[in-house]
Structure 1
Amino acid sequence: MSFIPAIDTTIGYTFGGKDPVARILPRRPVRLRTLDCFAGNVRSADDLPSRVCTMPYLNPVTGPLEVVGAQPGDTLAVHVMSLTPVGGVGFSSTFPHFGALTGTHTTAMLHPPLTERVWEYTIDHRRATVRYAARGSSYHVDLPLVPMLGTIGVAPAAGEVRASILPGTHGGNLDSPLIRAGTTVYLPVNVSGALLAVGDGHARQGDGELCGVAVEVPMDVVLIVDVVPGVPSALPRLETDVAVMSVGVARPLEDAYRMAHADLVHHVSALTGLDLLDAYQLISQAGRAHVGNVVDAEYTIVAAVDKRLVRGDPPYRGTHQRLRTIAAAGGNHSSLGAVV
């Protein structure tokens, strides 16, 4: 299994507009190192991002990776085999004009900006915990370590270049805690080779990423990809062993909710043969909604339904189960995942 480290030549801050750093083969695992959203510049609670980071260069992604055989009109399936935070600490922060509970330039308020502050979280890998410690008192509590990828996406269509901090139909900064080990992410292929990039590892994150910053960590990421030829996807979708999901990306939040659920209704209708209103009724009574982020330029909602209720054809021709089987067998590590 190849290892692609996150060094200056392999990270970027956009989807699109960058040449691939490596070529990867379908159904062959590849291991990546991603940086945290601060690009490693925040190293203590005294390192305020406004002082140590170069704005707007936040949220670096490793890649892009050219997927052999991927062509526009296909769907790229990205199965997350494992996520391992690098090191023993993670960092979060508040920003003066960023987050769900402060004024911004588009949500203008008269109150003073929030104070910029950094929290350091100790990660205990053996106990699989992340320690929250208050800055203003001795209060602390251990939270479960739940690694996730905040950002995963491909090059947008029509030559568009999108900042890595933004979500969209190409994926990007979706900030969904559901993108973790065992999840397959389906992304539309817009350009030859797809040009996949990932980053923004979180040791954990609450729904909505309320303050705008999760427990940010560099991450060792093991992925395995496949191409579903001739099957287009309008939006990112997710699949686990127990659920199928659609991701809506929009503002206001209710439009992201509508987008996700409309796509899921169509998806379930196609899989089961139900007419559209029957599928609508099923999702109305059995669907679930998960908030990804409510802080970025676009918000994200993930609409989900249990797979046991979706009796019919397997999504994307059984790609999730096929990649799960390869991953469980050890992923054929004797073969290189990247052709550099």
Structure 2
Amino acid sequence: MSGMSPFTYRPARDELAYTFGGREPVARVRSGDTLRVHTEDCFGGLVRGPADLPSRVCQMPYLNPVSGPFFVEDAEPGDTLAIHLVDIEPAREWGVSSTFPHFGALTSTSHTATLQAPLEERVWVYDIDRSAETVRFHATGSDHSVDLPLQPMIGTIGVAPGAFEVRSTIVPDLHGGNLDTPELRAGATLYLGVNVPGALLALGDGHARQGEGEACGVGVEIATVTTLVVEVIEGVSTVWPRIETDRDLMTIGCARPLEDAYRIAHRDLVGWASDLTGLQELDAYQLVSQAGRAPIGNVCDPNYTVLAAVDKSLLPGPSAAYDGAHARLRQHAAGPR
């Protein structure tokens, strides 16, 4: 792997991307390279206070921008791209969240149409204290405030889809995209199947924190400086996105209705656990049924995301996933000792 200094990319506003696929790469990197990527929030930095209602300052479809894409040398269809998130730092001392008239889990939407009045559009500004590692919520209708743990994550990260598809950055699917899971934090390794030469990796939509499900559809949105390491795993395919941490194996399903996303994630985890351990599939199914967890990513986007997770220590001597890519990238990120 490369021992060079991190490659740094800071896009100008007109260089931000709003799709996966259909974009020329902004840079070429190699397997083993470390990237330091500046990302914007889902509003492109235009929502900065209570008066900046997204409907007034933002324009569809220019929401949820990503930085990239990056062409990863030697990545070919049928390979897997491992992306280890080394560090996610808020780029500003504040973050924002909001409600939208026809968006979120608890309001009428275009897909769940009702006669109720649209939800009020409102903006919340959160104070970020990096030294205390807190995010401060301020109620808008009273003087209540409370500090929540600062848990930076990347909401949107993916590669170009296959079959000449171009997908909006708002959509999560096989290629990754707007996965919106708090599990995509520093220390996690994301595995994505490569669909086009160079993979064309892009990322953005940082959150200072997010509750599971992202009920209102908007996390504590922040710009970030995100450091990551990439590695091409040749000749190994990955259909749905997967995550590995020091503790867990996790698989991600993206679909509507929510139960189909649940089924996709759990079917993939049962198969992955069986492949790594030699357990019969029904034994793996039984173990995941009793010991697994199902964190919900989002229930608001064009596809919903559900994860299936299991503690690796509960599996019988599992083989290292992807030939030990997570441990290898983690060690690489730590540098020489």
How high is the TM-score relative to the length of structure 1? 0.96
- 1:327 corresponds to: 333
CA distance in 1, matches of 2:118, 2:336: 50
Displacement of 1:309 = 1.9
CA distance in 1, matches of 2:336, 2:146: 36
Q: Among 317, 321, 324, which residue is 2:323 paired with?
A: 317
- 1:99 corresponds to: 104
- 2:124 corresponds to: 119
Q: Match for 1:185: what amino acid?
A: L
Segments of structure 2 that go 5 or more residues without pairing to the other structure are 1-5
By relative contact order (CA 8 Å, sep 6+), the higher-ranking structure is 1
- 1:227 corresponds to: 232
1:9, 1:21 within 8 Å by CA — same for their partners in 2? Answer: no
Displacement of 1:105 = 1.6
CA distance in 1, matches of 2:262, 2:111: 21
CA distance in 1, matches of 2:324, 2:192: 16
Q: Residue 36 of structure 1: SS of its match in structure 2?
A: coil
CA distance in 1, matches of 2:314, 2:124: 42
Q: Residue 149 of structure 1: SS of its match in structure 2?
A: strand
Q: Among 253, 256, 265, which residue is 2:261 paired with?
A: 256
Q: Among 140, 146, 150, which residue is 1:141 paired with?
A: 146
Where in structure 2 are the equivalents of 1:176-195 lying within 5 Å?
Answer: 176-195=181-200
1:150, 1:201 within 8 Å by CA — same for their partners in 2? Answer: yes
Displacement of 1:2 = 2.1
Displacement of 1:330 = 6.3
2:7, 2:33 within 8 Å by CA — same for their partners in 1? Answer: no
Q: Among 159, 181, 185, which residue is 2:164 paired with?
A: 159
Q: Among 64, 72, 84, which residue is 1:67 paired with?
A: 72
Q: Match for 2:334: what amino acid?
A: A
Displacement of 1:270 = 0.5
- 2:3 corresponds to: none
1:176, 1:293 within 8 Å by CA — same for their partners in 2? Answer: yes
CA distance in 1, matches of 2:111, 2:330: 43
Q: Among 273, 281, 284, which residue is 2:286 paired with?
A: 281
- Percent sequence identity is 58
1:56-80, Cα deviation, whole Å (9 max, x unpaired): 2100000000011100000000000
CA distance in 2, matches of 1:169, 1:314: 23
CA distance in 1, matches of 2:245, 2:199: 22
How high is the TM-score relative to the length of structure 2? 0.97
Displacement of 1:243 = 0.4
Change (3 A) 1:274 1:29: same
Q: Residue 209 of structure 2: SS of its match in structure 1?
A: coil
Displacement of 1:44 = 1.1
Displacement of 1:111 = 1.4
Q: Residue 322 of structure 1: SS of its match in structure 2?
A: helix
1:6, 1:35 within 8 Å by CA — same for their partners in 2? Answer: no
Name the stretch that deviates more: 5-14 or 306-315: 5-14
CA distance in 2, matches of 1:143, 1:106: 32
CA distance in 2, matches of 1:301, 1:106: 19
Q: Among 28, 43, 59, which residue is 1:38 paired with?
A: 43
Q: Match for 1:200: what amino acid?
A: D
Displacement of 1:9 = 5.0
Q: Match for 2:270: what amino acid?
A: V
Displacement of 1:10 = 3.5
- 1:212 corresponds to: 217
Change (3 A) 1:330 1:170: farther
Displacement of 1:239 = 0.1
Name the stretch that deviates more: 22-31 or 2-11: 2-11
